[in-house]
Amino acid sequence: MLVHPQFNPIALDLHGLGLPIAIHWYGLTYLAAFMLFLFLGRRRVLKPWYSSTGWQAQDFDDLLFYGVLGVILGGRLGFVLFYQPELYLAQPLKIFAVWEGGMSFHGGLLGVIAAMGLWAWRRQRPFWQVMDVIAPCVPTGLACGRVGNFINGELWGRAADPSLPWAMVFPESGSLIPRHPSQVYQFLMEGLLLFVILWWLGRRQRPTGQIAAAFLLGYGVFRFIAEYFREPDSYLGLLSLGLSMGQWLCVPMMVAGAALWLYFGRSGTQPAQTAR
């Protein structure tokens, strides 16, 4: 049985040098996520079926800006609406207290979809083509986020059999119960495995929309599985059918992903040419 090392959440404290700056590990994981998004995206647009439609590496600079806004605004609003609407309805000013924590992946996803839709409209590019380009670049960012969760000792797992070799005690949970390191499970499934699958699917030209559909389906499945090992939020617990809020939010993702994969596969629409 292992014990979480309780890392210092501050990676670099410059107060001793007279600078009012403290760099947190979580901030560094976000920075790594954005840098990986840029690196992988610039490689994606070199594919001939994208470069021939006018995609350029510089497009990802703007895409990143729009994506960051979508993640932050959508993630925060998603947490407010999906997880604690009563609290924020009673105290609406707390919506802006982002330093207290509270972000939702599913809300962030909706925010990114909206942001990419706006970018596609402004650039006169097909929406599903844009989503196909960015989809394989997202899981590495999710993996970085789970690393941050593990370093902070948050979002720990449910109780595990003490004989499990990697069962871990999270003192941050307020108990000495051995738990599943669910952050690691999510890092491996939603991060690395999903990235490998999407990057492999994107190695050749596919009908427009299928890569984005694969992301929806793949993330939904992996997150649904991981939630069986993750401790439910204390203020929600388990909901209908013994499922967590995270699992219920994954259901429409899985349904939409499977339906869109079949739809785009049957339509056989190839990456569209951009009007110039």
pLDDT in tens, 60-84: 888 888 988 888 888 888 778 777 7
With tokens 């596609």, the residue in question is: 120
Looking at the predicted structure, is the pLDDT value of residue 103 above 90?
A: no
Average pLDDT of the residues in 7-34: 84
* Nearest CA-CA partner of 40 in 158, 202, 245: 202
Confirm if 190 and 146 have CB atoms less than 8 A apart.
yes
Looking at the predicted structure, is the pLDDT value of residue 153 above 50?
A: yes
Looking at the predicted structure, is the pLDDT value of residue 39 above 90?
A: yes
The pTM (predicted TM-score) of the whole model is 0.88
Give the whole-number percent of the chain exceeding pLDDT 90.
63
* 209-210-215 Cα angle (round to 5): 100
Which one has a higher pLDDT value, 54 or 198? 198
Distance CA 187, CA 160 (A): 18
Which one has a higher pLDDT value, 219 or 273? 219
Distance CA 266, CA 276 (A): 28
Please report the pLDDT score of residue 99 as a whole number. Answer: 55
Question: Could you state, in order of their start, the residue ranges of all structural domains in the chain?
Answer: 22-160+180-266
Looking at the predicted structure, is the pLDDT value of residue 161 above 70?
A: yes
Looking at the predicted structure, is the pLDDT value of residue 205 above 80?
A: yes
Please report the pLDDT score of residue 116 as a whole number. Answer: 94
Distance CA 54, CA 146 (A): 34
pLDDT band at residue 274 using 50, 70 and 90 as cut-offs: very low
Distance CA 115, CA 68 (A): 9
pLDDT band at residue 92 using 50, 70 and 90 as cut-offs: confident
Please report the pLDDT score of residue 275 as a whole number. Answer: 39
Look over the chain and give the mean of its residue pLDDT values, rounded to a whole number: 89
The residue count of the chain comes to 276
